[in-house]
Amino acid sequence: MKRLTTIALMVNLAVASAYAQHPVAMGFSGTSGASPINLNQPGTHTVEENVAGNGTLGSFTLRDVRSAALGPQPSTTCTGLFFPSTSGSAVLRFEDGSLLTLSLTQGGDCIDLVHQVGHCTLTFRITGGTGHFKNASGDLTYTETALPVLPDAQSNPVFFTETGEITGSISGVAIRGEFKDEWH
């Protein structure tokens, strides 16, 4: 009986640690610009980012679509022009085909006109997923630096390169072995 109790305790501890909260750190690079998707929110335009990277959860691609204010808004944290994002979602796709779905909770773009650089910080809530991420939950922060690549006819930048990181925590995911962190 004592041996059975010990085995049951070991199984419970193994399951609890497998589904505990795990830190997330992933680097990425990619592009962004206006999206062909129209979210039809007054006073906004639709932005889309497509990036790929690697980190604690493995190799991934991310696509996010969000509404951003057409004009700058006041901000206590941005020293340039701040364009808040009002709504949006993202999907991370991993090498094994598993998906992790996210919903935007806050954030936006801070544009430094002097240095021609944008800084974006977005906070996402994990809303679920498929495969390995079927029962996932948690919060992730997407932080990027964007540089203009292509202007429109009025010399406004419309296409950007992006580099950055995704950090936060995830739970509800059984971690089998260690994920590679090979991003440089």
Show the DSSP H helices in the chain as ranges. 2-18
As a whole number of angstroms, the distance between CA 41 and CA 67 comes to: 7
pLDDT at 125: 98
Residues 6+ apart with CB under 8 A from 177: none
Name which of 35, 63, 57, 25 is nearest 162 in CA terms: 63
96-97-101-107 Cα dihedral, nearest 10 degrees: 70
- pLDDT over threshold 80, residue 176: no
Average pLDDT, the chain: 88
As a whole number of angstroms, the distance between CA 80 and CA 66 comes to: 21
Q: Which amino acid is at 127?
A: T
The strand pair at 60-69 and 22-34 is best described as unpaired
pLDDT at 110: 96
Please identify which residue in the block is written with the tokens 């979210």.
39
The strand pair at 157-171 and 22-34 is best described as antiparallel
Find how far residue 157's CA is from the centre of its chain: 23
**Candidate from 28-37, 91-100, 166-175 with smallest mean pLDDT:** 166-175
Q: Which residue has the higher pLDDT, 178 or 148?
A: 148
Q: Which residue has the higher pLDDT, 125 or 16?
A: 125
What domains are defined for the chain? 22-171 (2.40.480)
Give tens-digit pLDDT for 61-106. Answer: 999 999 999 999 999 989 899 999 999 999 999 999 999 999 999 9
As a whole number of angstroms, the distance between CA 132 and CA 32 comes to: 28
pLDDT at 174: 67
